[in-house]
Amino acid sequence: MKVLVVILSLFLLTSCTEADVEELMFRKIIEYDLIKLCEDDEQCKLDVKSQIKGCMVSSDWQGYIKNQDDDEELTRFTVQFYDCFVDAEGQPYFEANLD
């Protein structure tokens, strides 16, 4: 969490827009959680780091942010986002838990 505060401070001192900061914070928080799910799988961790931006775009993370209170939007985003992270053979690393 300390790292996130430092990153946010650096961006506030530069010419980044509010949208840039929002995207960075969202990405870093989600990335941290996904890497924890990878446990000891180093390839999973590398793939999460390299795929996260594309997965955010393909799952329309901004649409989710704008409609966070909509259960259908949460389900849509969760499924699309988690299914996006795949290994070299195209198998998903994660499965959306909608319970």
pLDDT digits over 1-10, tens only? 566 666 666 5
Give the predicted TM-score (pTM) of the model: 0.76
Q: What's the rounded Cα separation, in Å, for the pair 95 and 25?
A: 23
| Residues 6-39 as b or e (16 or more Cβ within 10 Å = b) | eeeeebeeeeeeeeeeebbebeeebbeebbeebe
Q: Is 48 exposed, middle or buried (0-12, 13-18, 19+ CB in 10 A)?
A: buried
Give pLDDT tens digits for 44-86: 999 999 999 999 999 999 999 898 889 999 999 999 999 999 9
Of 85, 87, 65, 90, which is closest to residue 77 (Cα–Cα)?
65
